[in-house]
Amino acid sequence: MTEYNTVVDCLLAWYIQEQRILPWRQTKDPYKIWISEIMLQQTRVDTVIDYYCRFINTFPSIIHLAEAELDIILKQWEGLGYYSRAKNIYKAARMVVEQYEGKFPNTYEQIIHLPGIGAYTAGAILSIAFNRSYPAVDGNVLRVISRIFLIQNNIGDTAVKKEIHDIVQFLIPEGRAGDFAQALMELGAVICIPRMPKCTICPVHSECRAYHENKQDELPIRSKPRKQKQVLRYIAIIKNNNEILMRKRREGELLGGLWEFPGVEADTIEQFQEKFYVEYGLLIQVDDHILDCEHIFTHIHWKMKVYRCRIVEKHVGNIVENSTWMSKERMNEIPIPTAFQKIKKAVF
């Protein structure tokens, strides 16, 4: 049986000595900790550091964030991906200003109702910012606990997640909730990594049941990931003097609210032209091939063929709603997602 106290003591001692120096670890401001936790979702620490520092410099408080325009926030987020995160922090910031006079709430019930915040993020804020004994169970923690306690069931199952949540809750040492939460996350990030964990230098390997039974590479057990859908998109680069046609994607679409080079799903150039006329009201002549590129989202894989095109005919009236002509200077000011950044570089 794993000695709980030994695990906690060894883990905390290791964390105090070996923790990485990260900008969000230099504060107890719940606003800044919240921003870091949202940015760190699905994103590597090395990538987040510069984004976090720029973001906090631009929006030093939740009031500054709430008073900003969404497009400015999205521009600051450009390149981080998963843009719904940025939209949700904007909504949440406005809610905090309206309901809590700009002071970040400090109860689980209040925090969990803010847009974009789930049980993990609420637990992380409460434990790190307020030193409250709430578990913060993310993917790293699920992996660490499943190995230490040899949990050989699918960690995607609700009952298994609850089991791990309860174990973490039991382990939280009195008065050290923040350090303990970060120590678990840190262990999963740098030692108890998904493949080839560094067990020989792990501070708790002597208490790890998976290590003793040589099953650390088999855990955690997960359900098979959903197969990605592959989509072929044809992209049109259409110039009008020194401006290029751009489209703002509709809310509810993938990358909704962000700007793209207009395109459609198609299998051939002929289908591209037909669908483009239906979608944009523009009959185009496809000229030069510029490049092929791709972008992989969580559940979809875009393969994009990019062509220089020109307008041959258009419907009566203006171009399709949410589309406009833009100069290079204006394009540098608007949020263009990573999926289209390679295209942007090729065009200019």
pLDDT at residue 319, as a whole number: 59
pLDDT at residue 299, as a whole number: 86
Per-domain residue ranges of the chain: 4-212, 229-347
229-347, what's its fold? Nucleoside Triphosphate Pyrophosphohydrolase (3.90.79)
Q: Reduce the DSSP state of residue 230 to 3 states and report it.
A: strand
Q: Which of 3, 18, 37, 265 is catalytic?
A: 37
Determine the Cα–Cα distance for residues 206 and 208; give it in Å rounded to an integer. Answer: 6
Q: Reduce the DSSP state of residue 65 to 3 states and report it.
A: helix
37 is catalytic: yes
pLDDT at residue 250, as a whole number: 86
Pairing of strands 263-265, 282-296: unpaired
DSSP letters for 289-324: EEEEEEEE-SSEEEEEEEEEEEEEEE-SSSSPTTEE
pLDDT at residue 224, as a whole number: 79
- Model confidence over 7-54: pLDDT tens digits? 999 999 999 999 999 999 999 999 999 999 999 998 899 999 999 999
Which residues does 99 contact at the CB level (< 8 Å), separation at least 6?
none
4-212, what's its fold? Endonuclease III; domain 1 (1.10.340)
Q: Which residues of the chain have pLDDT under 70?
A: 1-3, 314-320
pLDDT at residue 2, as a whole number: 46
- Model confidence over 53-89: pLDDT tens digits? 999 999 999 999 999 999 999 999 998 988 999 999 9
> Average pLDDT of the chain?
92
H-type helices in 174-268, by residue range?
A: 177-190, 209-212
**pTM reported for the whole predicted model:** 0.84
Determine the Cα–Cα distance for residues 135 and 142; give it in Å rounded to an integer. Answer: 11
pLDDT at residue 320, as a whole number: 66
pLDDT at residue 140, as a whole number: 94
Determine the Cα–Cα distance for residues 236 and 250; give it in Å rounded to an integer. Answer: 18
Determine the Cα–Cα distance for residues 53 and 302; give it in Å rounded to an integer. Answer: 31
- Can you read off the two tokens belonging to residue 35? 């921003």
Backbone angles phi, psi at 87, to 5 degrees: -65, -40
